[in-house]
Structure 1
Amino acid sequence: MRDAGGCRAPQARSLGPLKGRFWAAAAAKEQSYEYGSTRYLLLCGLGGMLSCGLTHTAVVPLDLVKCRMQVDPAKYKGIVLGFGVTVRDDGLRGLARGWAPTFLGYSLQGLFKFGLYEVFKMRYAELLGPEKAYRWRTGLYLAASAGAEFFADVALAPMEAVKVRIQTQPGFAGTLRAAAPRMYREEGPRAFYKGVAPLWLRQIPYTMMKFACFERTVEALYEHVVPKPQSQCTKAEQLAVTFVAGYIAGVFCAVVSHPADSVVSVLNKEKGSSALGVLQRLGFAGVWKGLFARIIMIGTLTALQWFIYDSVKVYFKLPRPPVAQAPKSPKKQK
Structure 2
Amino acid sequence: MFPSQESLKKNFIVPSPAGDVAAPTGANLYARFAIAGAVCYCDTNSDARTPVDVVKTRIQLSPEVYNKGMIASFRQVVAAEGAGALLTGFGPTAAGYFLQGAFKFGGYEFWKKTFIDLVGAEKASENRTAIYLGSSAIAEFFADVALCPLEATRIRLVSQPTFASGLLSGFSKILKEEGAIKGFYSGFGPILLKQVPYTMAKFVVYERTTELILNQIGTPKDQLAPSTLTTVNLGSGIVAGTVAAIVSQPADTLLSKINKQKGAAGESLTSRLVSMAGQLGVKGLFLGLGPRIVMVATLTAGQFAIYGDIKRVLGATGGVEISK
Q: TM-score range by the shorter chain?
A: 0.7 to 0.9
Say if 1:258 and 1:287, in contact at 8 Å, map to a contact too: yes
| SS of residue in 1 equivalent to 2:259 | helix
Residue 253 (structure 2) pairs with residue 262 (structure 1): yes
1:300 to partner: Cα distance? 0.8
Cα deviations by residue, 1:41-93 (Å, 9 ceiling, x for unpaired):
00110111111112134220011000100010111112111101110111111
Q: Secondary structure at the match of 2:162?
A: coil
State the AA in 1 paired with 2:29: Y
1:206 equivalent among 198, 205, 208: 198
Measured on the aligned residues, the alpha-carbon RMSD in Å equals: 1.9
Q: In structure 2, do the counterparts of structure 1 residues 35 and 214 end up closer, same or farther at CA, with 3 Å as the change threshold?
A: farther
- The residue number in structure 1 matching 2:26 is 37
In the alignment, structure 2 segments of 5+ residues that lack a partner are 1-16, 265-271
Structure 1 residues without counterparts, runs of 5 or longer: 1-27, 327-334
Q: Report the alpha carbon displacement of residue 267 of structure 1 after superposing the two structures with TM.
A: 0.6
Q: 203, 220, 235: which is aligned to 1:244? A: 235
Contact 1:98-1:174 at 8 Å conserved across structures: no
- 2:211 corresponds, among 204, 219, 223, to 219
Higher relative contact order (CA 8 A, sep 6+): 1
Is the deviation greater in 66-75 or in 50-59? 50-59
TM-score scaled by length of structure 1: 0.85
Deviation at 1:231, TM superposition (A): 3.8
Q: Deviation at 1:323?
A: 5.2
Residue identity in the other structure for 1:85: Q
**One-letter amino acid of the structure 2 residue matched with residue 65 of structure 1:** V
Distance 1:311 1:272 in 2: 44
Distance 1:39 1:195, change over 3 A: same
Note closer, same or farther for the CA distance 1:249–1:231 as it changes in structure 2 (3 Å cut): same
Q: Where has structure 1 moved over 6 Å in runs of 4 or more?
A: none
Residue 13 of structure 2 aligns with which residue?
A: none
Distance in 2 separating the partners of 1:127 and 1:181: 43
Change in CA separation of 1:30 and 1:147 when aligned onto 2, cut-off 3 Å? farther
Amino acid at match of 2:227: A
**Alpha-carbon distance change, 187 to 33 in structure 1, aligned in 2, over 3 angstroms:** farther
The answer as to whether partners of 1:102 and 1:160 remain within 8 angstroms in 2 is yes
Bigger helix fraction: 2
1:134 to 125, 134, 147: 125
- The secondary structure found in structure 2 opposite 1:269 is coil
What amino acid does structure 2 have at the position aligned with 1:310?
G
Number of equivalent positions: 298
